[in-house]
Amino acid sequence: MAMRQHESNERSSVSRRQFLHGLAAAGLGAAAANRRTSGAEPAPRARLKLGLDNFAVRAMNWKARELIAYAARLKLDALFITDLFAFESLEDQHLRGLRQQAADEGLALYVGSWSICPTSTSFKKDWGTADEHLALGVRVAAALGSPVFRVILGTRRDRTTEGGIDARIADTVQVLKTARRRALDAGVKIAVENHAGDMHSTELVRLIEEAGSDYVGANLDAGNATWTLEDPLLNLENLARYTVCTSLRDSAMWETENGVGIQWTAMGDGRIDWKTYFARFAELCPEVPVNIETISGFNYELPVNKDEYWQVWPKGKPSGYAQFLALAKNGQPRQPHEYPSGAERLPAEQKYQQEELERSLHYCRTLGLGRR
């Protein structure tokens, strides 16, 4: 705990401070301009909505009704169910019942699923073809009253496939275009996530623009941003105008012999300046819920000091790479979380996941998040 407290108090490099100062100055300048134009102080902005992504408590194996009850007990504003297997039925009548249950608890429902890229190493035919999967998701979202259907392209492994990530983006765009009319008619935006090292934010922006931003948006994932060599604040700047939902967690980063080590953490335990992040988030996408998706306790290394690593980045180091390295500059290594073996593992995993999530929600509330 002492080390985590030390981490949270560390100051980042000069380049990061300059970046944050620039953001703050821009925000203050815009506010001043608004006051000069209107002749009055702007109205107070509503607090950001706070929710959870059910993957944070995946070990519980809860179905939708149990997840709604849990989110209600935590007095959240939103619940993001990101796996269709959490639903006992995908029939409209059952889904409308869940919609009413959530409404009775004051919860906004968001829904999602997984890969819709038919050539991704992560694609599964659980829900038919990629086109069928996407059509099903739009229908489910409409029945639940979810404004979005979250999907992914794949993972970092797709950067190593034939044609690289550019080919996988093209294949995903083709699938998305088959659902344009259906999504627009249903009033559902298809939210593509920057997922597990598959796409840098600039690549996701290109995917959204090529498919059509009138019906495709972004699911913003700050933790996944670190796996594509991004400072989450820059990731937010790039994706905010497209963002329709979120899955957020903190990240600890440190220098290693091979490059950069990363461990996802509970909110407030890592290297991200959340006070600055959420101030900017409130300016750029104030009505989008902050859904917490903690996936804590394991380490992942990005061997950026090795030449072979850059083979999956044929266009060279991505924009914002210097700011990413600055986050790791003064970070301290973290030890992975250890679980007991055998029959004791599952209850220990369940307990740890709930503690990480609920501690994160508490931290977010100390920053003024949540409307309940």
Output the DSSP codes for 288-312.
S-EEE----S-EEEE-TTSGGGGGG
The answer to the question of residue 41 being in a domain is no
The answer to the question of residue 7 being in a domain is no
pLDDT (0 to 100) of residue 23: 46
DSSP-derived 3-state class of residue 364: helix
Length, in residues, of the chain? 372
pLDDT (0 to 100) of residue 2: 39
* 264 contact partners, CB below 8 Å, separation of at least 6: 223, 249, 250, 251, 252, 270, 294, 295, 296, 297, 298
Element (H, E) at 150: strand 148-152
pLDDT tens track, the chain, 372 positions: 434 334 443 433 434 444 444 444 444 334 333 433 344 555 557 899 999 999 999 999 999 999 999 999 999 999 999 999 999 999 999 999 999 999 999 999 999 999 999 999 999 999 999 999 999 999 999 999 999 999 999 999 999 999 999 999 999 999 999 999 999 999 999 999 999 999 999 999 999 999 999 999 999 999 999 999 999 999 999 999 999 999 999 999 999 999 999 999 999 999 999 999 999 999 999 999 999 999 999 999 999 999 999 999 999 999 999 999 999 999 999 999 999 999 999 999 999 999 999 999 999 999 999 999
CA gap 227, 300 in Å, rounded: 9
Query: What domain range includes position 249?
Result: 47-366
User: 131 exposed, middle or buried (CB, 10 Å; 0-12, 13-18, 19+)?
Assistant: middle
- Confirm if 111 and 140 have CB atoms less than 8 A apart: yes
Q: Which CATH number covers residue 235?
A: 3.20.20.150
* 241 contact partners, CB below 8 Å, separation of at least 6: 284
Which of 319, 325, 323, 320 is CA-nearest to residue 304? Answer: 325
Count the Cβ atoms, other than its own, within 10 Å of residue 138. 23
What's the number of domains the chain is made of?
1
The answer to the question of residue 37 being in a domain is no
Single-letter code of the amino acid located at 198: D
The answer to the question of residue 354 being in a domain is yes
The answer to the question of residue 107 being in a domain is yes
pTM of the predicted model as reported, rounded to 2 decimal places: 0.89
The answer to the question of residue 38 being in a domain is no
The answer to the question of residue 53 being in a domain is yes
Alpha helices per DSSP H over 215-316: 222-226, 232-239, 274-284
Count the Cβ atoms, other than its own, within 10 Å of residue 268. 19
The answer to the question of residue 362 being in a domain is yes
User: 343 exposed, middle or buried (CB, 10 Å; 0-12, 13-18, 19+)?
Assistant: exposed
